[in-house]
Amino acid sequence: MISFLKFTVLVTLVTRSLADDYVLNNKRFPSDFIFGVATSAYQIEGAWNEDGKTMSTWDNLTHARPELIVDGRNADVACDSYHRYEEDVALMKEVGVNHYRLSLSWSRILPTGFSDQINQPGVDYYKSLFRALKANGIEPIVTVYHLELPLALQELNGVLNESFIDWYADYAAVCFELFGDDVKLWTTFNEPKQICTGGYGYAYFFPYIHSEGLLEYQCAHNVLRAHAKAYRIYDERFRASQGGKVSIVLDAYSYLPASDSAADITAAETRMQFDLGWYANPIFNGDYPEIMKSRIANRSKGEGRDVSRLPEFTDEEKIALNGSADFFGLNVYTAALVAAMDDPPISNPPSKYQDMGVNDYQPSDWETTSLDWLKVAPWTIRHLLNWINDHYHQPDIIVTENGVCDNTGTFQDTQRVSYIQRYLSNIRDTMEQDGVNVIGYIVWSIMDNFEWAQGYTQRFGLHHVDFDSPNRTRTPKQSAQYYKNVCETKCLVDDDFECID
């Protein structure tokens, strides 16, 4: 557990980093540092019904309920990467990245959702992509499940079905067997919090079911058990021959106390545990955080329930979960401040916010972007990385996503350049001054793509994509040139002469 004194010192340090006179770190990153870019299958591939691929949850949603997407569009074609992957690999080579984080489409590989039928054209597509990456000196980091499910499985209640654990484990085993010779870095799930809190809690993501403090907890429980089962399958059947590593990608805000009061510091710790600890603690320590278990159990009892709304792991499941990650995959975009509050009264229906009993917010004077939630706060990542280091046994950490959006399509994306530069500088500070073992940084994204409920209205890419062109023309932005310089020099300042080895 991080000490009160160290927490206070870290808050002071990250606050100083906010100052206008903050100086960029000019020390080079290690020669083996991972510099990468990221995408996901649904957001870029297109070819939604080609070569044996069946309908996924997001195919169905965007066709049946286009009003849920800001611009009413879908990803039937998206960036057309299914047909243009060689062009995409060429973009990555030009930027100079050494890793590419991508995901596999479950419905492209297993069209029924089950492992008894493998779609060979889908397998061939990914094998061709991996060959192209290898030929250009780029290593894949592959996510098995990135926010979309075969529709056939969703119609069987999807993630909430107890059988999902076996469905997923079978699918993961197929992926390990088919692609494990080409892939040495795996992640089982991308952002399970978005699957569960977004999909079954606050209902801002597919399948848009509002069940705070109930189904969102059951969803997470199943995802965690599915992750553990897949990890142990890799351990037992594939690790010795393939020599890869397996983890999971967790998304988090950095939650900082709103003041230096003991109450706000405790509140920030509670918020972190209910956010990142909810998933990370079972994986790195074998069970849900104690503060989650106790608060939810007490509130469940007060609601007249015989058992806690937070499910319990069996002893066997705790053993399987504990240590089921070979590195820490972290998606981070922004942060918030947390203040203590009076404990909310017991009420039905319940909610996760009431379970936490804290108040979080983003100050109005933080730098804004084209999305309300994405405030620019690069100094806060230092606190988050230290928090992970202190709670989870000093793991190797890969920042698996970090980036910023715009809604103009500009090629002179100066805010994105500044965002990447400042986040990387604070990461380098954390490595150098705090001894946290960050081994990689991955920009979201190599190119503009379909941003889920935002459609094509928000652009995160280093490359502009013309979605009105049949060729889906890719054009580098200013940020692509900046990131290319970082990849080449391993340094953040413009003049290589000023870089320190």
Structure tokens at 161: 């079905």
Long-range contacts of 339-347 (CB under 8 A, 24+ apart): 339/257, 339/258, 339/259, 339/264, 339/267, 340/261, 340/263, 340/264, 340/266, 340/267, 341/267, 346/299, 346/302, 346/303
Q: Which of 86, 401, 432, 488 is catalytic?
A: 401
9-34 CB burial, b ≥16 within 10 A, e <16:
ebbebbeebeeeeeebbebbbeeebb
Cis peptide before 66 (omega within 30 of 0): no
Taking the C-alpha atoms of residue 154 and residue 132, their distance in angstroms, rounded to an integer, is: 33
Q: Which residue, chain included where needed, has tokens 């340090």?
A: 13
172-200 CB burial, b ≥16 within 10 A, e <16:
bbbbbebbbebbebbbbbbbbbbbbbbbb
Question: Nearest CA to 341 among 254, 253, 288, 271?
Answer: 271
Taking the C-alpha atoms of residue 337 and residue 234, their distance in angstroms, rounded to an integer, is: 39
Within a 13 Å sphere around the CA of 452, how many CA atoms are in the beta-carbon half?
A: 16
Structure tokens at 254: 């950095």
SS3 annotation, 141-184: EEEEECCCCEHHHHCCCHHHCCCHHHHHHHHHHHHHHHHCCCCC
Structure tokens at 393: 């046994």
For β-strands 335-340 and 397-402, DSSP reports them as unpaired
With contact defined as beta carbons under 8 Å apart, do 231 and 327 qualify?
no
Question: Nearest CA to 330 among 257, 227, 243, 402?
Answer: 402
DSSP 8-state assignment for residue 18 = T
Helix, strand or coil, per DSSP, at residue 409: coil
With contact defined as beta carbons under 8 Å apart, do 184 and 131 qualify?
no
Q: Is 45 a catalytic residue?
A: no
Catalytic residues: 401
